[in-house]
Amino acid sequence: MNTADQYVKAIYLLQEMENGPAATGALADMMEVSPASANEMIGKLESRGLAEHEKYKGVTLTDEGIVRARDALQTYCIIERFLSNVLDVEEFRAEARELEPVIDGMIAERLDTIIDRNSECPDCFDPETDACEYLEVCGAEPETETEVAD
């Protein structure tokens, strides 16, 4: 996954949380970069046909951008779940963010065979908690569809 993928993933999550365009300032905060750096990348994403930016309104992803973002989010979920559920890494979120830019699709697919990813992925990711709902954190078992329905 490259930097552009991390940005489209962040824009996607912000759009989900804000139910509309992602504010440039919020994007910069999420990516831990300056607003100028975020604007520069938004311009690159626009030139690649992945995003559209409207001044004072924010940035939205194109259909192609949404596909890329969902793929990036799925890869992130795979990394996060592998670190938490398989390796029992305590600081799995920080580690997942560090590994995210260097894990390519082939490696993510191989990790996916180990974690038995849910078919809902990446829709199982909650941007508010920054986590997949199927993470096994602190020994807790993931909720099943039956438990959720009860």
Which tokens hold the place of 24? 């440039």
What's the domain count of the chain?
Answer: 2
- Residue 14 domain-assigned? yes
**Which segments within 66-147 are labelled E, that is strand?**
125-126, 131-132
Report, as an integer, the average pLDDT of 21-41.
Answer: 94
Band of residue 137 on the pLDDT scale cut at 50, 70, 90: low
User: Are 54 and 7 part of one and the same domain?
Assistant: yes
Query: With 70 as the cut, is the pLDDT of residue 66 above it?
Result: yes
- Secondary structure (3-state) at 22: strand
**pLDDT above 80 for 140:** no
Would you state the pLDDT for residue 81?
A: 87
pTM: 0.79
Same structural domain for residues 58 and 95?
no
Would residue 42 count as lying in a domain?
yes
Q: What is the mean pLDDT of residues 22-35?
A: 93
Residues 4 and 60 in one domain: yes
**pLDDT value for 1:** 58
Q: Which domain holds residue 36?
A: 1-64
Instruction: Please give the pLDDT value at position 112.
Output: 87
Omega into 35 within 30° of 0, i.e. cis?
no
List, for residues 78-136, the tens digit of each pLDDT value: 888 899 888 999 898 889 888 988 888 889 889 988 887 777 777 777 777 777 776 76
pLDDT at position 145, please?
41
Q: Is the pLDDT of residue 146 over 50?
A: no
Q: What percent of the chain has a predicted confidence (pLDDT) above 90?
A: 42
145 CB contacts (<8 Å, ≥6 apart)?
Answer: none
CB 45 within 8 A of CB 99: no
User: Which of 44 and 94 is assigned the larger pLDDT?
Assistant: 44
